[in-house]
Amino acid sequence: MFGLMQQEELLISGLIDFAEKNHGETEIISRRVEGDVHRSNWAQVAKRSRQIANALHAMDLEVGARIATIAWNGYRHLELYFGVSGTARVLHTINPRLHPDQLAWIVNHAEDQVLCFDLSFLPLVKAIHTHTPTVKHWIALCDEDQLPKDTGIEGLQCYESWIGQHTDHYEWPMFDENTASSLCYTSGTTGHPKGVLYSHRSTLLHAFGSALPDVMNMSARDSVLPVVPMFHVNAWGLPYSAAMVGAKLVFPGPALDGKSVYELIEQEKVTFAAGVPTVWQMLLSHMLPLKAQFSSLKRTVIGGSACPPAMIEAFKSEYNVEVLHAWGMTELSPLGTLCSLKNKHNLLSPEEQMKIRLKQGRSFFGVLLKILDDQGQPQRHDGKSYGDLYAKGSWVIKKYFKEKDSALIDGWFPTGDVATIDEDGYMQVVDRTKDVIKSGGEWISSIDIENIAVSHPHVAMAACIGIPDPKWDERPIVVVVKKPNTALSKEELLAFYEGKTAKWQIPDDVIFVDAIPIGATGKILKTKLREELIQPQH
């Protein structure tokens, strides 16, 4: 027997309709590529996304056509999020930090037909436009008078004129909620990137889940700053969850340095921010010497790579900001776990609570996790036994775009991370499978070694890699960037490890460098470090 309730398709257009009708005046603030701060609101975004819908119809693009963006976080990008997907076409957000060859490869693989870009990426677009034959329309996200002449890009249009010719009268079409909505390629440190194709249903369920109080706790009282780029897994779904709850959105544009982010937080009374650890490192480095404080920021989600405990502690003790450590992947839309405490933890001391907060967190309704050993045997959830982490759920990938084979093993997605899960369901990433250091049959977590290094007051950044060792297979070394104007010797740092980890886990060597290579999504490029530091074996 079926239930007798209505079935409304879960569509992205429903989100923007809702935000317009119920939170129309709630502001959308963007620091633009031009440098100024632009003020819009949900009603404006809704109206302009309907103009985009009409503009796409006028271009005669079929349902399912891919419309690409190479853009920073801002209101025009947000309008495309709703305008493109709302018409059953697919928004393909591209990471501009990729090498132009890789970028062209992605555009061709996705068969993008329209490419919208911020003017600051004009040189990049010039470099690829003759290598991307599927793209028929080039749109610069700017006003007509900003559009440069003689770019050499045939048919280049400006966004404001493109949508400006069309009315905002438009009825969003109804279609199957499993229709594709957006496409994002994994960062792919080896081999070609792979496309993850989200659906309207997966996007909305992810938005429902991530807005929950124990997850991102999003509400209409929030002013949300997604520092995480809209080209990196849809800015962790924040544009959708903000529309769902009617939150104010504050976009930083290209200005991600500590000073700009701090000023924006203060000016727009941001209550909640989200980003990778490297961005927060820049923010704290800016604030510390100025003894600056936050007047509105209450919580920040940090994820994308392991958040050093020293950062979680600094936010809490010096700025009274709650850090919510989160774990996710492009293949998980991206949220898999978030670290919020349970009722029974209220009675614990701040030190005991901190021990839990350092973990990547527990999954929430909608995501299932399991850990298996090399033989595929389930590992105990005791916080100690570790194994390969698998995920399953309504916003977890089934298959990569255009790949023949399933991405799953026995119905579960192998994440490529090694993790523990404790009795209360809190997951802790030990390492990426390929980064874990195998020394004498035992495993050393590169994350643990890095966390100890960055807790030293003179260390700004650290990366641990394994180097081949004839006796132990691999031994850890740590690559370190010192804080400006500080002195630290190899011996001092190695002595600092004493008592903080088992003796055999202490790195064999410390290499001081001026900078550690960072990849397109703000993560340390260990592949590059290995290439640079490990001598080929003969």
Helix segments in 96-141, DSSP class H: 100-110, 122-128
Minimum distance of ligand AMP from residue 170's CB (angstroms): 34
Which two structure tokens, joined as six digits, stand for 241?
């969850």
Neighbours of 213 (CB within 10 A): 9
> Which residues in 409-428 contact ligand AMP (CB under 6 A)?
415-417
Instruction: Kindly state the tokens that stand for 480.
Output: 């370190």
Is 95 a residue that touches ligand AMP (CB under 6 A)? no
Query: Cβ 167 to ligand AMP, closest distance in Å?
Result: 39
Q: Closer CB to ligand AMP, residue 223 or residue 305? A: 305
Give the angle subtended at the CA of 179 by the CAs of 174 and 185, to the nearest 5°: 140
C-alpha distances (whole Å) from 128 to each of 115, 117, 137, 414 are 11, 12, 14, 34
* Binding flag, residue 334, ligand AMP (CB under 6 A): yes
Does the footprint of ligand AMP cover residue 305 (CB under 6 A)?
yes
Q: Which is nearer to ligand AMP, 202 or 360 (CB)?
A: 360
Could you say which residues in the range 456-515 bind ligand AMP, by CB under 6 A?
none
CB of residue 431 to ligand AMP, shortest distance in Å: 8
C-alpha span between 387 and 437 (Å, rounded): 14
Nearer to ligand AMP, 439 or 521 (CB): 521
Angle between helices 238-245 and 12-23 (to 10 degrees): 40
Closer residue to ligand AMP, CB minimum distance, 159 or 327: 327
Q: Which of 275, 304, 387, 393 binds ligand AMP (CB under 6 A)?
A: 304
Count of residues of this chain found to bind ligand AMP when the rule CB under 6 A is applied: 22
Single out the segment in contact with ligand AMP by CB under 6 A; choices: 2-10, 89-97, 324-332, 465-473: 324-332
Alpha-carbon span 301 to 278, nearest angstrom: 13
The CA distance from 106 to 123, in Å, is: 17
- Stretch 516-535: interaction string toward ligand AMP, x if CB under 6 A: -----x--------------
Specify the residue, 122 or 326, whose C-beta has the smaller distance to ligand AMP: 326
Pick from 157, 330, 363, 451: which binds ligand AMP (CB under 6 A)?
330
Does 182 bind ligand AMP (CB under 6 A)? Our answer is no
N- to C-terminal Cα distance for the chain? 69
Cα four-point dihedral sign 521, 179, 112, 416: positive
- Interacting positions 185-214 with ligand AMP (CB under 6 A): 186-187
Q: Does 327 bind ligand AMP (CB under 6 A)?
A: yes
Nearer to ligand AMP, 113 or 305 (CB): 305
Binders of ligand AMP among residues 353 to 372 (CB under 6 A) are 360
What is the Cα 451 distance to its own chain's centre?
A: 21
329 interacts with ligand AMP by CB under 6 A: yes
CB of 452 to ligand AMP, least distance (A): 16
Span interacting with ligand AMP, options 175-183, 321-329, 463-471, 505-513, rule CB under 6 A: 321-329
Contact 322, 276 (CB under 8 A): no
247 near ligand AMP, rule: CB under 6 A: no
Q: Which of 53, 126, 132 is nearest to 91 (CA)?
A: 53
How far, in Å, are 382, 429, 491, 510, 523 from residue 438 at the CA level? 22, 16, 24, 18, 22
451 binds ligand AMP (CB under 6 A): no
- What is the amino acid identity at position 482? K
Q: Judged by CB under 6 A, which stretch of 13-21, 51-59, 302-310, 503-511 contacts ligand AMP?
A: 302-310
DSSP 168: S
SS3 sequence of 285-346: HHHHHHCCCCCCCCEEEECCCCCCHHHHHHHHHHHCCEEEEEEECHHHCCEEEECCCCHHHH
Q: Which CB atom, from 24 or from 188, has the smaller least distance to ligand AMP?
A: 188
Which residues are known catalytic residues? 186, 331, 438, 443
As a residue count, the chain comes to 538
User: Would you count residue 432 as binding ligand AMP (CB under 6 A)?
Assistant: yes
Using the rule CB under 6 A, is 429 a contact of ligand AMP?
A: yes
Interface positions with ligand AMP (CB under 6 A):
186-187, 233, 303-307, 325-330, 334, 360, 415-417, 429, 432, 521
